[in-house]
Amino acid sequence: MDKIIMQNPIVEMDGDEMTRILWQQIKDELLSPFVALNTEYYDLGLKHRDETDDQVTVDAALATKRLGVAVKCATITPNAQRVEEYNLKKMWKSPNGTIRAILDGTVFRAPIIAKNIEPAVRFWKKPITIARHAYGDVYKSVELPAPGPGRAELTFTGEDGTTLSTVVHDFKGPGLLQGMHNTDSSIRAFAHSCFRFALETNQDLWFCAKDTISKTYDQTFKLTFEAIYNEDYKAAFEEKGLTYFYTLIDDAVARVIRSEGGFIWALKNYDGDVMSDMVSTAFGSLAMMTSVLVSPEGVYEYEAAHGTVTRHYYRYLKGEETSTNPVATIFAWTGALAKRGELDGNQALTDFAKLLEKACIDTVEAGQVTGDLAALIGPTATKLTSLQFLRAIRARVEAAIA
Ligand code: NAP
Ligand code: MG
């Protein structure tokens, strides 16, 4: 068989530990035999980040802007223990944080559905995609303890010296204070990414906040979404028969539980943090979850939602065959290849990506799974090592192509 040609490269960001091992196995077993892979390779493994003073992460993000599509392996975000373990020059920042700061935008996460993995919520039939705003609010807040009685105020001083001020609270005794912010440009970028992603994936978009209580902050999010929808996306949504709708966060939670799924749920940063863990757990497993960062200019970075699976890696280093689930990492690759195919008008590449995704799901639905899913499925499952699982998928891909 002739390998599928890629006219244009994608950015390939290699990573750490168990996912780095899976990365190579996925390329060897499922990609290189079928596709003449065309990638611009960046090694974001911790050792190489340290050697390059983390310049490689910045270079990879800039390359993503240039080429439009990237696939990223999970990476270690170093803490004190990692600084010692890898003898690092310093405690480098989270690569995802660095990449997001350069690309901006929104992280979309959706469960990968298999029939034999029942969602905990029995109404859910289709995936629910979480769109989490990835900037500001409590993640960039400042805090103070109020040591005792006194007045707390919030003040803005403009560059021209004019001030705006309001009283936060007149304390009668000790208490707490928190100040947070967001920017109009980041909220607008968030809204654009959500509307675009909804159109591209043909799904309704829900957005929720608490504007009844937060009459300036959350109200601005609500009005920004509304204005951008009316101005730029309403016609396209109506043409496709899609809806955009806003509701309060508490109402949204109740509706989501009663829904069938099959929509995008856009959430502010903190709400997105909390709800994405709830939704992913209720659907089954982090290893069965896709994740893509979409920038406001329409640049795409695909990754797995889980980390580097350190505990399995230490077992692998001792010579054990592990049963680590590669599905999310495979879907990061198929997401990127399908997007490249779509942008380049390369139907063969997009079709291959879809075929590989189907082969993964068929394998899982046949009960041939890794340990995490075997535990969810129960006694009908056959537990495979990662490599056995990849080879079972490969057999399906080969059969489908033949
Ligand atoms: P993790 O790598 O997601 O693993 C946590 C646990 O979840 C694992 O020990 C394993 O449970 C289970 N698990 C996760 N992915 C799995 C898979 N594909 N197959 C089977 N089981 C899986 O999180 P962590 O241990 O907290 O973090 C490890 C490293 O990853 C850290 O250095 C962190 O900085 C990094 N991290 C990176 C990213 C990213 O790059 N996007 C995200 C999160 C964390 P059992 O051990 O019980 O089998
Ligand atoms: Mg979280």
pLDDT digit string (tens) for 195-253?
A: 999 999 999 999 999 999 999 999 999 999 999 999 999 999 999 999 999 999 999 99
Q: Which atom of ligand 1 is nearest to the CA of 15?
A: 40
Ligand 1 site-directed mutation target among 277, 309, 370, most atoms within 8 Å of CB: 309
φ/ψ of 35, rounded to 5, equals: -125, 135
User: Do residues 187 and 224 make contact, with C-beta atoms less than 8 angstroms apart?
Assistant: yes
Cβ–ligand 1 contact at 375 (below 6 Å): no
CA-proximal residue: ligand 1, atom 5 (nearest): 309
Q: What's the confidence (pLDDT) of residue 135?
A: 83
pLDDT score of 15: 98
What's the half-sphere exposure (Cβ side, CA atoms, 13 Å) at 138?
8
pLDDT, position 275: 93
Tokens of 73: 């392996």
Contact 140/180 with Cβ under 8 angstroms?
Answer: yes
pLDDT value of residue 140? 83
325 Cβ inside 6 Å of ligand 1 = yes
Residue nearest to ligand 1 atom 42, measured at CA: 307
Q: What is residue 366's predicted lDDT score, i.e. its pLDDT?
A: 97
Distance 190 CA to ligand 1 centre (A): 27
Between the CA of 273 and the centroid of ligand 2 the distance, in Å, is: 5
Pair type for strands 175-179 and 142-146: antiparallel
Verify whether ligand 1 is closer than 6 Å to residue 291 (CB atom).
Answer: no
Closest CA to 72 of 111, 31, 14, 23: 14
Please work out whether the CB of residue 77 comes within 6 Å of at least one atom of ligand 1: yes
pLDDT at site 105: 79
Distance 133 CA to ligand 2 centre (A): 13
Ligand 1 atom with the smallest distance to the CA of 326 is 18
Handedness of CA 350, 354, 356, 357 (dihedral sign): positive
Q: How far is CA 31 from the centre of its chain?
A: 22
Per-block average pLDDT, block size 10, for the chain (402 residues)? 94 98 98 98 98 98 98 96 96 90 87 91 94 88 95 97 97 97 94 93 97 97 98 98 97 96 95 89 88 89 94 97 97 98 97 98 97 92 97 98 90
The rounded Å distance from CA 178 to ligand 1 centre is: 31
Pocket lining: 64 vs ligand 1, CB cutoff 6 Å: no
Q: Is 287 in the pocket of ligand 1 (CB under 6 A)?
A: yes
Alpha carbon separation from 390 to 264, 365, 400 (Å, rounded): 30, 14, 15
Q: What is the per-residue pLDDT across 107-116, written as a single tens digit (0 to 9) for each?
A: 999 999 999 9
Give residue for tokens 């805090």.
143
Ligand 1 within 6 A of 303 CB? yes
The SS3 of residue 115 is: coil
Domains annotated for the chain, with CATH where assigned, are 1-117+287-361 (3.40.718.10), 135-140+183-283 (no CATH), 142-179 (no CATH)
Probe residue for ligand 1, chosen from 44, 117, 306 as the CB with the greatest number of ligand atoms within 8 Å: 306
Q: 307 CB less than 6 Å from ligand 1?
A: yes
As a whole number of Å, the CA-based R_g of the chain is: 23
Ligand 2 centroid–CA 393 distance in Å is: 31
Residue whose CA is at the smallest distance from ligand 1 atom 6: 309
CA of 276 to the centre of ligand 2 (A): 7
Stated pTM of the model: 0.89
Distances (CA, A) of 125 to 22, 182, 254, 256, 257: 30, 35, 16, 12, 11
Report helix, strand or coil for 267: strand
The confidence score (pLDDT) of residue 297 equals 84
Q: Whose CA is nearest to atom 46 of ligand 1?
A: 311
Distance CA 151, CA 159 (A): 25
CA 386 to centroid of ligand 1, rounded, Å: 15
Contacts of 316 (CB under 8 A, 6+ apart): 18, 21, 322
346 lines ligand 1 (CB under 6 A): no
